[in-house]
């Protein structure tokens, strides 16, 4: 136990990889064994991170459970891990959602072994980003997370669908999942090119990639870099970081990969994509952009807020315009993540004030909450898609009497996503609005339009699926819609419980976040 | 009172004193004295062996509702001597094409492998050849020499039956060596030493068959297999291999195999007594103040001999009441059942030992015993289910009506 | 008393004999016999260095034990290979088992 | 148990009932309604205890029952939530708990508990009746039990939870929580028969329309919170300095003070929730829900909540007279506007819906002119008699449905008043209680509660010099009396106009008992608010309501001196309206004969259509634009430039550089050299292991010797 | 010449002689039996070096398992009782030369080493080399990792040997 405690982060981080490697030696045909093994293996990091949570002292500033392992001595980069209140929350979210997503993937029958292994690798990639205290490590894990996701979309995505690509060179068609995965991969990689350059630049400047060291010395740094004045360098690096993270969040106008990727990904892939991967971007803002570039962030806060507001409003409108259920949910992620960035932008404009802290609290909590509700929503879409093999909203209608339990869960999750008070979304959205209003009143007021449209698209989803006259196609015979089964309820249960608990009593998690935000900024 | 405490040292000192008095260098004198000691021991063993022959014949007769040797001497006691004379005067045949050196070496090695075992048997605290600190392993090592002798015999006879018998016997011995090592390690864990004296001493007040009855059982089974006696006597299997590896031997060479086997059985009876029943100790009786007179070298020796005879008798009991087991069943029994069980027992014992060694002896003993009991119960339950499944495979599923009738 | 050199020379002799066996014998099993001799020679060295060095440092004995384990593994796999080859090629002469050439 | 603990506990039973029913008892109808009604009883009991304890406290306004806990960490401080009962809260709690209890009870009967399951009823649609065979072998069609019976009680429980939370909370945020939960429940309950497209549309309409208000309200809350650092009512209003700062005029948009802006934003929330013009459109459509829902939402709770919130924020509101004017205008306009529409409606529930909008307009107008006690008074009395009216109308519909099932003619709309007539003989209890409710609504003098509260608003308007308000409200009151009498006459008086009306039946006790209980309050509650100096009656009973509720705020509102003008006016409009209504409609037998079926009124001034064109259409168009044009057209178009462009560059490099130069020259050349070398050296590989070993040994020996001697020499 | 020296010389001579027989004798069974003798000699050498555990293990493992296995293997891989034809390959003299060179090289290199004439120190009183060995084998600070690796190696060898030697044509062992 002592060993595990001393290297808790390392164990949490690499346990999934280890399990994936062990899976390599399991027989490929034993789907049941593979599923349960992967599920069990993903529970271990979860239990460990619950332990981590209990052992974590929110009153202590800086990183805890720090551990440093040699990695790339020549570059003075080390596998330096650590968590503070911010990353702890995200680690918790990741380790919670992975087993849930794996449980949700039990219905996958195609190449289960590879699928489960990719998922476990994905978990390590995501956790690594949240735990890294070293820029190079951060970047490495950032890219590591892409690969499994690419394959998950490309190989296990929805089999149907063609996508016509029109450009000035002419048009051609490719399969939708191929298109989506390619777009996801290239978009994110393209965005992170700048990040890589900026990270390298910092490494060259300081001869060291340790985040704590760079943060401590960066603001006082005044030397020129290769003849360019330091302020220019900082501005360029700032935008390089921002674009990388903005693609991931995603911010308008970098968001078009998201609906495609979400729509084509397998159910569990969408869950993780929306639940955790999007948070990587926002986490990057909080972990790197604000601490490293306070001045630039303050200067460009308005621009950031503009993009965030655009994401909120356009995301909501676009979501309302969809006829594909999954695409509708996907666009709602743009809308919700916009609030996160709005909070961050507001905080950037006035770091250190109480309003900023509240906005940051809201942003971080919104990250967590969106992780819960978006994962739940994608899963529910997946549940109905598995049964009907269609996502077109017009094909549904009046399904409530057939699937009362599913309907209840759907409405519950939809309402959490809408920000109904008493459920978690409200708390975070209120905090964001409360924090940003005095700092960025106009943007906040305009984003209210997005909030209004949130209601519209959410009700549209419920209306088209559950309410209205029953579509008799699903009522009888071979197409008869079956009720959500126990496994699927078990997938939703932890999400729903957390949604309700955070909605009613957010202090337990918000306290950790709040203290972290106070100490971080 | 040295004579009561340490007669061996007394005799050795006297002998060495005598010889140095003759002008012999002290080193040589010690060597001669040691050699004499070994010689005496072997002589005594041979005598015991002769009586073992009688005992064996007598007991088997009783088991088979016969009387056994009863003509020569009282209770037929002289009979074994007659047997020996017959063996000695028979023609000593060496088959043509046999590998003569090896052929002649094999029975000697067989006998030797038994005799050198007696180097480490403590008849009393001081009456032992050498208090080897790897004695437990030594038992297995001599077993290896026995194995070698059998394969040599089988091969050099240039006889298919002999070779087949040797193969079978060797396969059994090599296989059963593993549970034997595992069961030997349990007294080692319990006493913290591999020395026979230390193991004997550690069995006060609780002999190891109470602490670990399963280990005692495993050791007994493995020992019987190691001996190649029924029910594990596939190596000689008269009815099919016409006596297996020793089919070509006759006269005293056969006699050496035969006597070696009997002595081996007796020896393992003794080891069983030493390892699990307190050796030369009288289960703590001799430590009582009122019975202090029992704490005495001669009583000790007597105790061990009696224990060895009882062990030998149990081995005979098994031999004459159980049927021979088919070779694949025997190996399957070892690899699929006895070996896993002995390893499980080893792990459990080590675990309980690590957990409870600092507790009071009673807690320690009780937890050891209970853990053995639980493991044993699990094994019995498992066996029951397995054999039922096997039976159903052969006979078809058990009829519920019969089940009901059984209740 | 026996100087260390005796053991070392003894071991060297054993090693060389083993080497000769490995290089010269035709039978694959016999080659393996030679290998065993070489391993034993090494073990003698290990034990001797343990005894003539710091007795409290058990490294020599430990590695001798590990050599035992390795030898057992080597023999098991080696003989299995020999038997397998014998089954398919009906020979155990090392020179005749030369499929793996250019 | 301390009063504070008890207040915490008030909202809990309905919430627990919700979870219990949803999770466990939803298969068992009897258990579900037992749980639901039991929870309502518990809350009601607790509320009564709290209410009477509140009565016994002197100066409750200055020392209300309060209790709070930390909820959200905000930087160094905590945001606290808690409960508080001050006089206003107590008064509201009183009527809320009673009406909720009554509605729960009523629902048991309304949803035909104890009747057989329908022949082909389906979840999501109203029950269609069941065929039973009696002992004589005759087949009858009787009402069937609601298929989603348990679910109804669950929703009702959640709704009650929201309302209680709203009433007992001591801050704007939890008030908003309750507010939104009620919004959700109204959505769920209006869309209870979700299988009907009209119900589905109405539910969404209700939710979205109120959400417009809510979004503004959230903005207002955020603004208030960031300016004051707290949302606790007492902390805000008790801070003189702060209030002064907020009241500084002209600091924000349109010359409003901060307080005015916040109050306006909050008030927009109320406009949505209380269905004031221009966000009134959802309420009439909400009649698609089951009748207890209509009563719950439109009388007792949700719409009252809007008014309640404004009364709560009244100190803030009163800081800026611009906002006050806006409020007064909207209230007054809504009152007259809705009253005119109500005259032309034929659906019995729709009439009541518009009347509700109108009456809420009265209250809002009263607030706009500063008469918050009068508003509160009217709020309470209106809740009682409007709940009574809605439940009564439900009873009528229920009776009519009985008739419809009897005849089997489903083309007859059981809600259309022109299909009724003469029901007073068939349904006597319903008739008398409905009559009481109707008279209370019309402000039948002296006897009914409605008279006292409405009169007070008029008196306030007159006394404070808001003549325009006064005249408009008086006209609206006249119209109210008129359409109420129209409703009563068409429904109960005269002769049955259809066969179905002839076969209507009185409803079971679970429905009539709530009617009777509520009618007691519809009359009696007015008597606690008779002004002190009212001729003859004044002083017979103490004017308790003013004393009590007036103590909520630090400064007591001044008592308005008695003035005969408003009294006369209200007497005239009430009695006149009733009389005219009866005189005209006792002779009207069908819609065609009705003079007031003016198309403009009947179509509600075409507001729905206008909104469709002005708001909803553009939104749908915009969302299409954002997806199709902006995302997939422009942004993806730019992206799609990159893919083929990269491909082109790649093809160029491959065909011009890679293939000829690198592959053929360098790549193949190297390969050829390697291959030749390999072929030359091949014979070394004899495949004989011993030769390999020898070779390696020789090499080892040679290299080892070289190293040994060379390095050894160097060392 | 002390007794110990005489014993050593005798043992060494016997061992080397039997080793020589191992590599030269034509009969492979005899070679294996000579190997047993060699191994026994080595075991005695261990005993002379006060490594009793090694000596016993040498007997158990080498004689009890490895030598037996060799004999089995020899018997399984030939058809005649006697071995036919030459047992040394044609280039055996090169091998002999190499072996002699190796021996010479080794001895030559050792000759220059100062530690050659070290004498063994007395065994410390009360020093139990078996306990020390056990501790060293499983102590985390010493050799537990090599120990575990060796056990994994054994397992792998076991599985591998079974797999390799398994005759696919004979199929299931129960048949």
Domain residue ranges in chain E: 1-82, 127-175
Which whole number is the average pLDDT over D287-298? 76
The tens place of each residue's pLDDT in chain A, 521 residues long, gives 577 778 888 888 889 999 999 888 888 888 888 889 999 999 999 999 998 888 888 888 888 888 888 888 777 888 888 888 888 899 999 999 999 999 988 888 888 888 888 989 999 999 999 998 888 888 888 888 888 889 988 888 887 777 777 666 667 778 888 888 888 888 888 888 888 888 888 887 777 888 888 887 776 666 666 667 777 878 888 888 888 888 888 887 888 888 888 888 888 888 888 888 888 888 988 888 888 888 888 888 888 899 999 888 888 888 888 888 888 888 888 888 889 999 989 888 887 788 888 888 889 999 999 999 999 999 998 888 888 888 888 888 788 888 888 888 988 998 888 888 888 888 888 888 888 888 888 888 888 888 888 888 888 888 888 887 887 788 777 778 888 888 888 888 999 999 999 888 888 888 888 888 888 77
Q: Which residues contact A74 (CB under 8 A, 6 or more apart)?
A: none
Inform me whether the C-beta atom of residue B328 falls under 8 Å from chain E C-beta atoms: yes
Give the count of beta carbons closer than 10 Å to the beta carbon of residue D446. Answer: 14
- Which chain D residue is nearest to residue E91, measuring alpha carbons? D691
CA angle centred on A290, ends A289 and A294, rounded to 5°: 110
Q: For B168-179, how does the pLDDT look when each residue is reduced to its tens digit (9 = 90+)? A: 888 888 888 889
Inform me whether the C-beta atom of residue B331 falls under 8 Å from chain E C-beta atoms: no
Under a CB-based contact definition with an 8 Å cutoff, are residues D27 and D150 in contact? yes
Across the interface, whether the CB atoms of D686 and C23 are under 8 A apart is answered: no
Domain residue ranges in chain B: 1-89, 95-399
- The phi, psi pair for A174, rounded to 5°, reads -145, 165
Across the interface, whether the CB atoms of C1 and E4 are under 8 A apart is answered: yes
What are D47's two structure tokens? 């509320």
Alpha helices, H only, D538-688: 544-550, 564-585, 599-602, 607-611, 617-624, 636-652, 668-681
Under a CB-based contact definition with an 8 Å cutoff, are residues E63 and E40 in contact? yes
Q: What percent of chain D has pLDDT over 90?
A: 0
Give the count of beta carbons closer than 10 Å to the beta carbon of residue D134. Answer: 9
Determine the distance in angstroms separating the CA of B141 from the nearest CA of chain E, rounded to an integer: 5
Q: Which of A156, A149, A341, A339 is nearest to A257 (CA)?
A: A149
- Which chain E residue is nearest to residue D688, measuring alpha carbons? E89
Q: Which of A338, A319, A337 is nearest to A279 (CA)?
A: A337
Under a CB-based contact definition with an 8 Å cutoff, are residues A312 and A339 in contact? yes
User: Which residues lie across from D73 on neighbouring strands?
Assistant: D78
Across the interface, whether the CB atoms of D698 and E98 are under 8 A apart is answered: yes
Across the interface, whether the CB atoms of B133 and E60 are under 8 A apart is answered: no
| 3-state SS, one letter per residue, for D53-114 | HHHCCCCCCCCCEEEEEEEEEECCEEEEEEEEECHHHHHHHHHHHHHHHHHHHHHHHHCCCC
CA D215 to CA A419: how far, in whole Å?
11
Q: Is B96 left (phi over 0), alpha (psi -120 to 50) or beta?
A: beta
Answer with the residue of higher pLDDT: B201 or D119. B201
Across the interface, whether the CB atoms of E57 and B170 are under 8 A apart is answered: no
Inform me whether the C-beta atom of residue E157 falls under 8 Å from chain C C-beta atoms: yes
Q: For B381-403, how does the pLDDT look when each residue is reduced to its tens digit (9 = 90+)? A: 888 888 888 888 888 776 555 55
- Closest Cβ opposite residue D697 in set E91, E98, E109: E98
Across the interface, whether the CB atoms of D630 and A314 are under 8 A apart is answered: yes
- Closest Cβ opposite residue B158 in set E27, E52, E81: E81
Inform me whether the C-beta atom of residue E74 falls under 8 Å from chain B C-beta atoms: no
Question: Cα separations (Å) of B42 from B47, D657, D702?
Answer: 9, 93, 57
In A125-192, the DSSP E strands lie at 162-167, 170-175
- The phi, psi pair for A64, rounded to 5°, reads -120, 165
CA A456 to CA D187: how far, in whole Å?
13
Determine the distance in angstroms separating the CA of A296 from the nearest CA of chain D, rounded to an integer: 24
Determine the 3-state secondary structure of A109 from DSSP.
Answer: coil
- Locus of tokens 């009829």: B399
Answer yes or no: is pLDDT of B1 > 60: no
Determine the 3-state secondary structure of A325 from DSSP.
Answer: helix
Whether E and D touch, i.e. at least 3 CB pairs below 8 A, reads as yes
Q: Which of A507, A521, A520, A428 is nearest to A82 (CA)?
A: A520
Q: Which of B32, B150, B64, B50 is nearest to B102 (CA)?
A: B150
Q: For B120-169, how does the pLDDT look when each residue is reduced to its tens digit (9 = 90+)? A: 888 888 777 788 888 888 888 888 888 888 888 888 888 888 888 888 88
The alpha carbon of D23 is separated from its chain's Cα centroid by a whole number of angstroms, namely: 24
- Closest Cβ opposite residue D75 in set A256, A317, A357: A357
pLDDT number for residue D252: 64
Strand D77-85 relative to strand D65-74: parallel, antiparallel, unpaired?
A: antiparallel
- Closest Cβ opposite residue E101 in set D691, D701, D708: D701
Q: Which of A170, A188, A467 to mutate to test the interface with D (most CBs of D within 10 A)?
A: A467
Q: Which residues contact A400 (CB under 8 A, 6 or more apart)?
A: A407, A466, A467, D123, D124, D194
Q: Which of A84, A75, A91 is nearest to A210 (CA)?
A: A75
- Which chain D residue is nearest to residue C32, measuring alpha carbons? D690
Chain E interface residues (partner D, CB cutoff 8 A)? 89, 91, 94-95, 98, 101-102, 105, 109
Burial (CB count <10 Å: 0-12, 13-18, 19+), residue A100: buried
pLDDT number for residue A425: 86
Q: Which of C1, C2, C60, C64 to mutate to test the interface with E (most CBs of E within 10 A)?
A: C2
Burial (CB count <10 Å: 0-12, 13-18, 19+), residue D59: exposed
Q: Which chains touch E (3 or more CB pairs under 8 A)?
A: B, C, D
CA C88 to CA A239: how far, in whole Å?
69
CA D11 to CA B334: how far, in whole Å?
71
- Which chain E residue is nearest to residue C91, measuring alpha carbons? E77
Under a CB-based contact definition with an 8 Å cutoff, are residues A45 and A276 in contact? no
Q: E1-82: what CATH class?
A: mainly alpha
Across the interface, whether the CB atoms of D701 and E105 are under 8 A apart is answered: yes
What are D46's two structure tokens? 């607790």
CA E95 to CA C25: how far, in whole Å?
9
Give the count of beta carbons closer than 10 Å to the beta carbon of residue A475. Answer: 15
Partners of E156 on chain C (C-beta within 8 Å) are 73
CA D324 to CA D678: how far, in whole Å?
99
CA D395 to CA C57: how far, in whole Å?
100
Q: Which range, of A60-74, B212-226, B338-352, averages the lowest pLDDT?
A: A60-74
**DSSP designation for D422:** -
Inform me whether the C-beta atom of residue C101 falls under 8 Å from chain D C-beta atoms: yes
Which of E 105-144 lie inside 8 A of B, CB atoms?
Answer: 128, 130
**CA-CA-CA-CA torsion for B235, B236, B242, B245, nearest 10 degrees?**
70
Instruction: Indicate the pLDDT class of residue E173, thresholds 50, 70 and 90.
Output: very low
Inform me whether the C-beta atom of residue D701 falls under 8 Å from chain E C-beta atoms: yes
Answer yes or no: is pLDDT of E170 > 70: no
> Residue A89: CA atoms inside 13 Å, Cβ hemisphere, count?
32
CA B176 to CA B183: how far, in whole Å?
11
Across the interface, whether the CB atoms of E67 and B328 are under 8 A apart is answered: no
- Give kind and range of the element (H or E) at residue B201: helix B196-202
Inform me whether the C-beta atom of residue E22 falls under 8 Å from chain B C-beta atoms: no
- Which chain B residue is nearest to residue E72, measuring alpha carbons? B167
Under a CB-based contact definition with an 8 Å cutoff, are residues D94 and D105 in contact? no
Length of chain C: 102
- Give kind and range of the element (H or E) at residue A67: strand A64-72
- Mean per-residue pLDDT of chain B: 84
- Which chain C residue is nearest to residue D679, measuring alpha carbons? C102
Instruction: Indicate the pLDDT class of residue E13, thresholds 50, 70 and 90.
Output: very high
Answer yes or no: is pLDDT of D604 > 90: no
Answer yes or no: is pLDDT of D204 > 80: yes
CA B260 to CA B112: how far, in whole Å?
8
What are B313's two structure tokens? 């008798």
pLDDT number for residue E9: 92
What are D72's two structure tokens? 């959200």
Across the interface, whether the CB atoms of D708 and E94 are under 8 A apart is answered: no
Partners of E105 on chain C (C-beta within 8 Å) are none
What are E84's two structure tokens? 């036919």
- The phi, psi pair for E88, rounded to 5°, reads -110, 145
Across the interface, whether the CB atoms of A421 and D194 are under 8 A apart is answered: no
Determine the distance in angstroms separating the CA of C64 from the nearest CA of chain D, rounded to an integer: 24
Partners of D694 on chain E (C-beta within 8 Å) are 91, 94-95, 98
- Mean per-residue pLDDT of chain D: 82
Which whole number is the average pLDDT over B259-268? 88
CA B272 to CA A343: how far, in whole Å?
80
- DSSP code per residue over D671-682: HHHHHHHHHHHG
Q: Which of A101, A138, A143, A134 is nearest to A16 (CA)?
A: A101
What are D319's two structure tokens? 């800081």
**Helices B213-227, B297-321: crossing angle, 10 deg rounding:** 70
pLDDT number for residue E18: 93
Inform me whether the C-beta atom of residue D128 falls under 8 Å from chain A C-beta atoms: no
Answer with the residue of higher pLDDT: E174 or E111. E111
CA C27 to CA C25: how far, in whole Å?
6
- Which chain E residue is nearest to residue C42, measuring alpha carbons? E42
Q: Which residues contact D37 (CB under 8 A, 6 or more apart)?
A: D104, D105, D108, D153
Q: For D441-470, how does the pLDDT look when each residue is reduced to its tens digit (9 = 90+)? A: 888 877 778 888 888 888 888 887 778 888
Q: Which residues contact B235 (CB under 8 A, 6 or more apart)?
A: B150, B165, B166, B168, B169, B172, B228, B241, B244, B245
Q: Which of A81, A80, A22 is nearest to A49 (CA)?
A: A81
Q: For D88-132, how does the pLDDT look when each residue is reduced to its tens digit (9 = 90+)? A: 888 888 888 888 888 888 888 888 777 777 777 777 777 777 777
Q: For B325-339, how does the pLDDT look when each residue is reduced to its tens digit (9 = 90+)? A: 888 888 888 888 889
pLDDT number for residue E80: 59
Under a CB-based contact definition with an 8 Å cutoff, are residues D223 and D229 in contact? no
End-to-end CA, chain D: 96
**CA-CA-CA-CA torsion for A465, A470, A475, A478, nearest 10 degrees?**
-60
Which of C 69-98 lie inside 8 A of D, CB atoms?
Answer: 94-95, 97-98
């Amino acid at each position: 136990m002592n060993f595990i405690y001393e290297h808790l982060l390392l164990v949490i981080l690499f346990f999934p990889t280890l399990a994936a490697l062990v899976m390599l030696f399991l027989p490929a045909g034993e789907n049941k064994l593979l599923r349960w093994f992967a599920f069990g293996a993903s529970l271990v990091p979860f239990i460990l991170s619950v332990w981590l949570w209990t052992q974590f002292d929110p009153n202590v500033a800086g990183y805890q459970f720090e551990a440093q392992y040699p990695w790339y001595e020549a570059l003075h980069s080390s596998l330096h891990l650590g968590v503070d209140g911010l990353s702890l929350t995200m680690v918790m979210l990741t380790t919670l959602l992975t087993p849930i997503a794996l449980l949700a993937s039990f219905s996958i029958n195609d190449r289960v072994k590879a699928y489960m292994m990719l998922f476990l690798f994905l978990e390590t990639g995501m956790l690594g980003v949240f735990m890294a205290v070293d820029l190079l490590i951060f970047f490495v894990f950032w890219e590591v997370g892409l690969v499994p996701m690419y394959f998950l979309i490309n190989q296990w995505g929805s089999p149907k669908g063609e996508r016509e690509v029109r450009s000035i060179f002419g048009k051609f068609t490719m399969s939708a999942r191929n298109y989506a995965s390619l777009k996801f991969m290239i978009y994110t990689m393209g965005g992170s090119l700048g990040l890589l350059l900026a990270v390298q630049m910092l490494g060259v400047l300081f001869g060291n990639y340790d985040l704590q060291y760079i943060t401590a010395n960066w603001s006082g740094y005044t030397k020129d870099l290769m003849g360019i004045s330091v302020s220019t360098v900082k501005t360029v690096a700032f935008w390089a970081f921002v674009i990388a993270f903005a693609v991931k969040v995603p911010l308008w106008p970098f968001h078009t990969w998201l609906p495609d990727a979400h729509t084509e990904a397998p159910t569990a892939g969408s869950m993780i994509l929306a639940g955790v991967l999007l948070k990587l971007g926002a986490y990057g803002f909080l972990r790197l952009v604000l601490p490293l570039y306070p001045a630039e962030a303050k200067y460009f806060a308005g621009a950031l807020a503009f993009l965030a507001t655009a994401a909120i409003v356009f995301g909501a409108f676009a979501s309302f315009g969809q006829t594909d259920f999954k695409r509708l949910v996907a666009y709602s992620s743009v809308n919700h993540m916009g609030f996160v960035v709005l909070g961050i932008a507001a905080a950037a404009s006035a770091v250190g004030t109480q309003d900023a802290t509240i906005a940051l609290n809201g942003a971080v909590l919104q990250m967590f909450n969106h992780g819960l509700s978006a994962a739940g929503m994608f899963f529910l879409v997946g549940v109905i898609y598995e049964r009907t093999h269609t996502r077109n909203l017009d094909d549904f209608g009046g399904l409530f009497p057939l699937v009362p339990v599913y309907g209840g869960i759907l409405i519950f999750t939809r309402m959490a996503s809408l920000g109904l008070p008493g459920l978690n979304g409200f708390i975070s959205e209120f905090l964001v609005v409360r924090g940003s209003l005095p700092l960025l009143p106009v943007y906040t007021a305009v984003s209210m339009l997005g909030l209004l449209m949130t209601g519209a698209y959410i009700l549209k989803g419920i209306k088209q699926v559950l309410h209205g006259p029953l579509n008799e196609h699903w009522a009888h015979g071979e197409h008869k819609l079956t009720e959500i089964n126990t496994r699927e309820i078990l997938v939703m249960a932890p999400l729903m419980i957390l949604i309700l608990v955070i909605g009613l009593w957010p202090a337990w998690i918000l306290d950790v976040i709040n203290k972290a935000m106070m100490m971080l900024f | 009172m040295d004579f009561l405490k340490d007669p061996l040292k007394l005799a050795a000192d006297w002998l060495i004193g005598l010889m140095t008095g003759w002008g012999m260098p002290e080193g040589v004198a010690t060597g001669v004295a040691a050699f004499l000691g070994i010689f005496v021991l072997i002589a005594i063993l041979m005598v015991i062996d002769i009586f073992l022959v009688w005992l064996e014949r007598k007991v088997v007769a009783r088991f088979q509702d016969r009387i056994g040797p009863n003509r020569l001497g009282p209770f037929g006691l002289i009979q074994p001597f007659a047997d020996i004379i017959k063996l000695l005067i028979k023609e000593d045949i060496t088959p043509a094409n046999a590998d003569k050196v090896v052929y002649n070496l094999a029975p000697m090695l067989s006998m030797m492998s038994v005799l050198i075992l007696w180097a480490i048997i403590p008849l009393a605290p001081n009456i032992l050849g050498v208090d080897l600190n790897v004695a437990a392993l030594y038992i297995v090592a001599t077993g290896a020499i026995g194995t070698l002798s059998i394969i040599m015999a089988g091969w050099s006879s240039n006889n298919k039956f002999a070779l087949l018998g040797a193969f079978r016997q060797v396969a059994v011995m090599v296989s059963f060596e593993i549970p034997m090592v595992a069961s030997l390690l349990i007294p080692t864990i319990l006493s913290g030493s591999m020395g026979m004296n230390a193991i004997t001493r550690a069995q006060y007040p609780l002999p190891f068959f109470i602490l670990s009855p399963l280990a005692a059982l495993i050791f007994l089974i493995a020992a019987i297999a190691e001996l190649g006696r029924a029910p594990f006597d596939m190596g000689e299997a008269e009815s099919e291999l016409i006596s297996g590896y020793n089919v070509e031997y006759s006269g005293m060479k056969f006699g050496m195999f035969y006597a070696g086997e009997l002595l081996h059985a007796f020896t393992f009876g003794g080891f069983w007594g030493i390892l699990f029943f307190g050796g030369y100790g009288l289960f703590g009786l001799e430590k009582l103040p009122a019975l202090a007179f029992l704490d005495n070298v001669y009583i000790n020796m007597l105790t061990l001999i009696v224990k060895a005879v009882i062990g030998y008798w149990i081995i005979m009991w098994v031999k004459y009441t159980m049927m021979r087991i088919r070779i694949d069943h025997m190996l399957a029994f070892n690899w699929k059942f006895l070996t896993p069980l002995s390893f499980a027992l080893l792990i459990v014992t080590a675990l309980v030992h690590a957990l409870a060694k600092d507790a009071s002896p009673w807690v320690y003993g009780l937890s050891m015993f209970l853990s053995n009991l639980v493991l044993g119960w699990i094994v019995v339950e498992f066996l029951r289910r397995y054999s039922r499944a096997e039976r159903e495979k052969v006979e078809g599923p058990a009829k519920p009506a019969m089940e009901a009738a059984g209740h | 008393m026996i100087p260390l050199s005796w053991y070392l020379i003894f071991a060297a002799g054993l090693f060389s004999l083993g080497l000769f066996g490995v290089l010269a014998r035709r039978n694959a099993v016999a080659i393996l016999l030679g290998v065993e001799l070489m391993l034993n020679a090494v073990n003698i060295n290990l034990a001797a260095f343990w005894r003539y060095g710091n007795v409290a440092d058990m490294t020599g004995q430990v590695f001798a034990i590990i050599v035992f384990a390795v030898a057992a593994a080597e023999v098991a796999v080696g003989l299995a290979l020999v038997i397998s080859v014998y089954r398919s090629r009906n020979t155990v002469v090392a020179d005749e088992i030369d499929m793996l050439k250019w | 148990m301390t009063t504070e603990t008890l207040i915490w506990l008030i909202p809990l039973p309905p919430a627990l009932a919700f979870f219990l029913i949803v999770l466990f008892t939803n298969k068992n109808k009897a258990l579900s309604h037992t749980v639901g009604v039991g929870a309502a009883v518990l809350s009601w009991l607790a509320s009564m205890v709290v209410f009477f304890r509140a009565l016994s406290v002197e100066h409750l306004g200055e020392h209300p029952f309060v209790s709070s806990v930390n909820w959200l960490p905000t930087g160094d401080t905590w945001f606290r939530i808690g409960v508080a009962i001050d006089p206003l809260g107590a008064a509201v709690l009183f009527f809320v708990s009673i009406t909720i209890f009554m509605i729960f009870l009523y629902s048991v009967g309304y949803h035909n508990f104890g009747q057989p399951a329908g022949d082909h009823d389906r979840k999501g649609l109203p029950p269609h009746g069941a065929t039973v065979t009696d002992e004589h072998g005759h087949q009858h069609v009787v009402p069937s039990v609601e298929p989603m019976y348990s679910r109804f009680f669950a929703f009702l429980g959640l709704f009650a939870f929201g309302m209680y939370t709203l009433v007992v909370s001591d801050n704007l945020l939890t008030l908003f929580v309750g507010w939104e939960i009620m919004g959700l429940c109204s959505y769920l309950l209006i869309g209870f028969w979700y299988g009907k497209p009209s119900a589905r549309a109405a539910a969404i309409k209700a939710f979205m329309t109120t959400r417009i208000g809510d979004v503004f309200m959230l903005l207002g809350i955020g603004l208030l919170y960031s300016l004051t650092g707290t949302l606790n009512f007492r902390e805000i209003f008790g801070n003189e300095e702060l209030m002064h700062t907020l009241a500084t005029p002209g600091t924000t948009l349109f010359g409003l003070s901060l307080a005015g802006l916040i109050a306006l934003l909050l008030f927009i929330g109320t406009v949505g929730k209380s269905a004031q013009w221009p966000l009134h459109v959802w309420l009439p459509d909400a009649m698609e829900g089951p009748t207890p829902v209509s009563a719950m939402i439109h009388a007792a709770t949700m719409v009252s909540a809007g008014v309640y919130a404004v009364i709560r924020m009244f100190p803030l509101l009163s800081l800026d007279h611009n906002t006050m004017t806006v409020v007064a205008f909207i209230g007054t306009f809504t009152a007259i506007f809705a009253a005119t529409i109500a005259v032309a409606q034929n659906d019995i529930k729709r009439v009541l819906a518009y009347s509700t909008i109108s009456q809420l307009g009265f209250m809002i107008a009263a607030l706009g002119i500063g008469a918050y006690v009068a508003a509160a008074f009217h709020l309470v009395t209106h809740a009682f008699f409007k709940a009574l009216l809605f439940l009564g109308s439900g009873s009528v519909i229920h009776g009519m449905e009985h008739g419809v099932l009897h005849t089997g003619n489903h083309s007859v709309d059981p809600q259309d008043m022109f299909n009724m007539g003469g029901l007073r003989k068939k349904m006597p209890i319903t008739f008398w209680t409905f009559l009481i409710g109707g008279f209370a609504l019309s402000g039948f003098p002296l006897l009914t509660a409605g008279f006292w509260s409405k009169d007070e608003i008029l008196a306030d308007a007159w006394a404070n010099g808001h003549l325009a308000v006064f005249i408009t409200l008086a006209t609206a009151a006249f119209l109210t009396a008129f359409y109420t009498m129209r409703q009563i006459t068409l429904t109960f008086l005269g002769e049955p106009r259809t066969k179905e009306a002839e076969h209507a039946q009185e409803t079971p006790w679970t429905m009539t008992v709530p009617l009777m209980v509520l009618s007691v309050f519809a009359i009696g509650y007015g008597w606690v608010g008779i002004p002190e100096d009212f001729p003859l009656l004044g002083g017979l009973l103490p004017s308790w309501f003013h004393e009590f509720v007036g103590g909520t705020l630090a400064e007591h509102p001044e008592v308005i001196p008695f003035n005969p003008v408003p009294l006369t006016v209200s007497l005239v409009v009430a009695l006149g309206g009733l009389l005219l209504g009866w005189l005209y409609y006792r002779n009207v037998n069908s819609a065609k004969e009705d003079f007031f079926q003016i198309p403009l009124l009947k179509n509600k001034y075409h507001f729905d259509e206008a909104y469709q064109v002005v708001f909803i259409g553009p939104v749908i168009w915009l969302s299409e634009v954002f997806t199709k044009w902006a995302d997939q057209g422009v942004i993806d178009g730019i992206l799609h430039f990159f893919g083929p462009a990269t491909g082109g560059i790649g093809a160029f490099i491959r065909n011009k550089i890679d293939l000829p130069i690198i592959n053929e020259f360098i790549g193949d050349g190297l390969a050829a050299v390697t291959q030749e070398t390999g072929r030359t050296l091949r014979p070394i590989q004899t495949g004989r292991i011993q030769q390999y070993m020898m070779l390696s040994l020789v090499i080892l020996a040679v290299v080892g010797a070289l190293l040994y001697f060379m390095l050894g020499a160097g060392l | 010449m002390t007794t110990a020296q005489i014993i050593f010389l005798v043992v060494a001579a016997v061992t080397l002689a039997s080793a020589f027989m191992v590599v030269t004798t034509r009969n492979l069974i005899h070679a294996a039996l000579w190997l047993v003798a060699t191994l026994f000699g080595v075991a005695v050498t261990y005993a002379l070096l006060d490594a009793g555990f090694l000596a016993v293990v040498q007997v158990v493992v080498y004689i009890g398992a490895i030598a037996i296995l060799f004999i089995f293997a020899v018997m399984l891989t030939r058809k005649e009782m006697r071995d036919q034809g030459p047992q040394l390959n044609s280039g055996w003299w090169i091998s002999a030369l190499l072996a002699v060179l190796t021996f010479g090289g080794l001895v030559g290199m050792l000759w220059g080493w100062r530690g050659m004439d070290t004498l063994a120190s007395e065994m410390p009183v009360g020093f139990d080399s078996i306990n020390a060995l056990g501790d060293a084998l499983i102590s985390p600070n010493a050799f537990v990792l090599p120990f575990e690796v060796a056990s994994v190696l054994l397992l792998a060898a076991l599985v591998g040997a079974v797999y390799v030697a398994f005759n696919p044509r004979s199929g299931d062992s129960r048949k």
